């Protein structure tokens, strides 16, 4: 038996409950794992609070991220005792996830835990940090460097935002952090932000071309914030778009793309091939500062996951929520 959060709609009404399940209720997989740590990402919070159609089949164990130890394996790459990380692949959406003591997963989905991290640190990073690294790599792939100008990070106090601020500052960028939390400027400066601007400067509808400022952008917000970020990006700049915290819509024009050569780089962490995941995690192992990771971490127990998800949805969460399982 093992404990897990179970989401269900038995007669149309949504339920999220911490329950005890039998091992033989786990879905098919070639690796049986013990989950030591998980986390509450934005998507987990949506699923746990039934705010958006994240869950594709019922009942579902949520948790798109996990890190732990292999218990049993029929996969050539994994043996009992190996330490693994899982991000995405539809886990917690289509396949039972990691807000549970045990999970049955596919060996092809797992990345070896880099020796530099323990499972808790890996989950402070989680999908949020791995996505932040994909954004940073998308900017670097277009040959943009700190000497080219400033980088804007939106939703800066969130999970993706906090880690993006820290990673970009460490690479030498002058990071401008946009936030809705005026009282968290010190937190963002400690992560490496050179300047903190109010989110409201970007959140209203604006002109398709505005004064050029950003050499690059990491956007976690979508909607008007993304449109304004594109409109303010300098000739030849890159906007890495990974989120929808303001909204799914994108009311803009092609002007920044055809008149300023701006690249809109879409970032999806869920279906990245294994090689890209390993490269992102290797770069995280090189570049993440352990002290900064601690500064953004908030620990909760498995039974507190729903409460933590509600806080995140209410916009009260800061940095990264780690679930100690």
Ligand X SMILES: NC(=O)c1ccc[n+]([C@@H]2O[C@H](COP(=O)([O-])OP(=O)(O)OC[C@H]3O[C@@H](n4cnc5c(N)ncnc54)[C@H](OP(=O)(O)O)[C@@H]3O)[C@@H](O)[C@H]2O)c1
Chain positions contacting ligand X, by CB under 6 A: 41-43, 127-128, 131, 155-161, 179-181, 199, 220-221, 225, 242-246, 267-270, 312, 315, 317
Length of the chain: 325
- Rounded to 10 deg, the angle between the 159-170 and 119-141 helix axes is 60
- CB-nearer residue toward ligand X: 180 or 206: 180
DSSP 247: B
Burial state string for 5-30 with b = 16 or more CB within 10 A and e = fewer than 16: bbbeeeeeeeebeeeebeeeebeebb
Residue 6: closest CA among 97, 85, 86: 97
Helices (H), 50-96: none
Residue 88 CB, shortest distance to ligand X, in Å, is 7
Residue nearest to ligand X (CB): 158
Residue 228 CB, shortest distance to ligand X, in Å, is 11
- CB-nearer residue toward ligand X: 73 or 184: 184
- CB-nearer residue toward ligand X: 37 or 199: 199
- CB-nearer residue toward ligand X: 155 or 237: 155
Residue 130 CB, shortest distance to ligand X, in Å, is 8
CA distance 251 to 270: 25
Residue 127 CB, shortest distance to ligand X, in Å, is 5
- CB-nearer residue toward ligand X: 100 or 312: 312
- CB-nearer residue toward ligand X: 105 or 133: 133
Residue 64 CB, shortest distance to ligand X, in Å, is 9
Residue 159: closest CA among 325, 323, 287, 322: 322
Long-range CB contacts (< 8 A, 24+ apart) of 249-257? 249/222, 249/223, 250/222, 250/223, 250/226, 251/205, 251/223, 251/224, 251/227, 252/208, 252/226, 252/227, 253/208, 255/208, 255/209, 255/231, 256/208, 256/209, 256/230, 256/231, 257/230
**Residues facing 152 on adjacent strands:** 176, 217
Q: For the chain, how far is it from start to end, CA to CA, in angstroms?
A: 15
Residue 137 CB, shortest distance to ligand X, in Å, is 13
Residue 240: closest CA among 164, 317, 316, 308: 164
- CB-nearer residue toward ligand X: 104 or 127: 127
- CB-nearer residue toward ligand X: 91 or 128: 128
Residue 80 CB, shortest distance to ligand X, in Å, is 31
Residue 157 CB, shortest distance to ligand X, in Å, is 3
Residue 99: closest CA among 25, 17, 39: 39
């Amino acid at each position: 038996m093992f404990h897990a959060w179970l989401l269900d709609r038995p007669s149309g009404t949504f339920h999220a409950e911490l329950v005890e399940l039998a091992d033989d209720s786990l879905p098919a997989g070639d690796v049986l794992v013990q989950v030591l740590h998980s986390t509450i990402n934005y998507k987990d919070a949506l699923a746990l609070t039934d705010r958006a159609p994240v869950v594709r089949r019922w009942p579902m164990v949520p948790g798109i991220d996990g890190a732990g130890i292999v218990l049993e394996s029929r996969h050539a790459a994994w043996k009992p005792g190996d330490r693994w990380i899982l991000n995405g692949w539809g886990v917690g959406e289509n396949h039972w996830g990691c807000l549970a003591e045990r999970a049955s997963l596919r060996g092809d989905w797992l990345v070896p835990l880099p020796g530099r991290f323990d499972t808790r640190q890996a989950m402070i990073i989680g999908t949020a940090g791995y996505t932040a690294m994909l954004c940073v790599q998308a900017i670097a792939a277009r040959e943009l460097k700190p000497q080219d100008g400033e980088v804007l990070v939106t939703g800066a106090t969130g999970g993706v935002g906090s880690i993006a601020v820290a990673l970009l500052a460490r690479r030498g960028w002058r990071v401008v952090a946009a936030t809705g939390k005026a009282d968290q400027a010190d937190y963002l400066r400690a992560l490496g932000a050179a300047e903190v601007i109010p989110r409201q400067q970007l959140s209203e509808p604006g002109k398709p071309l505005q004064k050029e400022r950003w050499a690059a952008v990491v956007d976690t917000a979508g909607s008007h914030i993304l449109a304004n970020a594109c409109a303010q990006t300098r000739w030849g700049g890159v906007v890495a778009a990974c989120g929808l915290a303001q909204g799914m819509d994108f009311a803009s024009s092609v002007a920044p793309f055809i008149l300023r050569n701006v690249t809109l780089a879409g970032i999806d962490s869920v279906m990245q091939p294994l090689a890209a995941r390993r490269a992102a995690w290797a770069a995280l192992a090189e570049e993440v500062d352990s002290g900064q990771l601690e500064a953004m971490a908030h620990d909760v127990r498995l039974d507190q996951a729903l409460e933590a998800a509600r806080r995140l949805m209410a916009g009260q969460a800061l940095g990264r929520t780690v679930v100690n399982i």
